[in-house]
Every structure is written in structure tokens, then in C-alpha cells.
Amino acid sequence: MMNKLIFGRYIPGDSFIHTMDPRAKLIASFYFIGIIFLANNWQTYAVLAVFTLFAIFLSKVNIRFFIRGIKPLIWLILFTVALQMLFTQGGEVYFKWGIFTVTEFGVINGLFIFCRFVLIIFMSTLLTLTTPPLDLSDAIEYLLRPLKVVRFPVHEVSLMLSIALRFVPTLMDETEKIMNAQRARGVDFGEGSLIQKMKAIVPLLIPLFVSSFNRAEDLATAMEARGYQGGEGRTKYRVLHWHLKDTVVMLAFVALTAILIFIRS
């Protein structure tokens, strides 16, 4: 069930992208999503596509996994593209039926949106495939630091984030285990009518909640026993290092922005 999901998982490696600073990767990914809206003609999309493919090439991860990462979202993408195609006015009219019109602008817009989706998914998949979740949460903690000024609980949020990330696989395992145990007791998951399906979830959900409560209690006790008293006065074990190549990547993004602004129509 969850095994098919590629998006949001990490593949260990030691490529150029893998060894980048997670802060640089995080900033770059968000920045990329921002500048993708600068693109408005074929040349700009071509530049972005080449840039994305080059990044994927640098990560040494097989491109098949990126393509597979799109699969769960393909219906959402196609739906949006179809809406764009059917309802955009302007340009040469190819086809008209009731309120639906397929026009030149519509088709072009639809294709642009498709490109936009695919590029964004590729870039964010690249981020998660090459960055361990804990590094990501470290990066988020660092980047949220300025918010301390407005009394935002940065340490608490990042602690929750890293604990949550740490327990995603554990909870997944637990879910699978309980599911198996209930299936062995004759529960059919995902079969029958909607109501039956929802009823079948109860024997999975309750034990999962109960074990989460127990786990939280145990974890809190264990943390206190090891002297945890909150964020004040703590030192860091994992220290992030910003290297030359991170600066280079940032500069590449600046250059990319310049090119986009120059060739957009």
C-alpha cells in the first residue's frame, strides 16, 4: 500500500546533490517553485526543464523513480490540465460544444500547467530523495530561527518535527503489523461498501492511537530521565556546514532567474 509511494522517501547516496547542505537544498527547492511562475513561453520552460534534468543527473538517482513519483498525482494533474483546456478563451477555436471550448490559448495553457506540475514534482522529489528527513528538519529549524524575534517557539516546533519524522517509519511498521493481525482475525480492509470499509478501519485506528499514546508517554519519560529540559542552553550534535558548492548552486539559481527574466515574453 504505502510501498508504492516514492515521493517523500530517501535514497542514500553520495552524489553532488546528496552532499549539499540541506539548507541550500531547501531554499533552492522553494526558490525554484517561486521562479517557475516566471516562465511563460516555450523557451523559458525549456530552460527550466534542462536545469531540472541536469539536477537529476547530478543526483545520480534513476529518472524512473521521478517518473514513478508523478503517478499518484497524475489524475490531479490531468484534471487541472483538462479544466484549463476546456474553459480558456482566446486564440483560434479548434472545437466547441456547449460551454466547452478548446482554443489555441487553452491548449497552450494546459500544456504549460502540465510542465509546471511535472517540474515542481521533480524538484521536490529530488529534495526528499536526496535528503534524510532529519537533515531536513535541522534545516527547517535553522531557517525558522529569525522567527524567534516574534516569540515563535522554534525549538519546540523543530523538536516535534524531528520526532514526528523519526516516528513515521515506526508508525508505518506498526500500522502494517496491526493490519496483519486484524486481517488474521478476519478483517477485510478496503473491501465492500464505503460504510463497511470505514468500519474496518476502527480495529486499526484504535490500537494505533492507543500505542501512540503509550509511545509518547514512554518517550517523554525517557527524555526527562536523560535530562531534557527544553531548548534553553542545549548544544547541537549535528552541525550543518555550508560549503562552496552550496554557494555555487545558489549562484546558479540567480543566473537561472536572470535568464528567465531575460527570455520571458
Q: Would you say 49 and 114 are in contact if contact means Cβ atoms under 8 Å apart? A: no
**Rounded-to-integer distance, Cα 86 and Cα 80, Å:** 10
Cell for 146?
529569525
Q: Interacting stretch for other proteins, rule CB under 8 A, among 29-37, 118-126, 184-192, 227-235?
A: 184-192
- Residue 171 engages other proteins in binding (rule: CB under 8 A): no
Q: How close are the terminal C-alpha atoms of the chain, in Å?
A: 45
Which one-letter amino acid corresponds to residue 150? V
Q: How far is the CB of 9 from other proteins (least distance, A)?
A: 7
Q: Which of 41, 170, 180, 247 binds other proteins (CB under 8 A)?
A: 180
Which of these segments, 111-119, 130-138, 150-158, 175-183, binds other proteins (CB under 8 A)? Answer: 175-183
What does the angle CA 251 – CA 253 – CA 257 come to, to the nearest 5 degrees?
Answer: 115
Least separation, in Å, of the C-beta of 205 and other proteins?
Answer: 8
**Cβ 72 to other proteins shortest distance, Å:** 14
Measured from the CB atom, the residue of 137 and 182 that comes closer to other proteins is: 182
Grid cell 490500537 is found at 207
Told to check if 82 binds other proteins by CB under 8 A, we report no
6 is a contact residue toward other proteins (CB under 8 A)? yes
Q: How far is 59 from 176, CA to CA, in rounded Å?
A: 31
State how far the Cα of 73 lies from the Cα of 124, in Å rounded to an integer: 13
Of residues 201 through 220, those in contact with other proteins by CB under 8 A are: 202-203, 206-207, 210-211
How far is Cα of residue 204 from the mean position of the Cα atoms in its chain?
Answer: 26
Pick from 72, 48, 73, 69: nearest CA to 130 = 69
**Residue 22: CB minimum distance to other proteins, A:** 20
Nearer to other proteins, 191 or 232 (CB): 191
Binding site for other proteins (CB under 8 A): 3-4, 6, 9, 11, 62, 65, 68, 174, 177-178, 180-188, 202-203, 206-207, 210-211
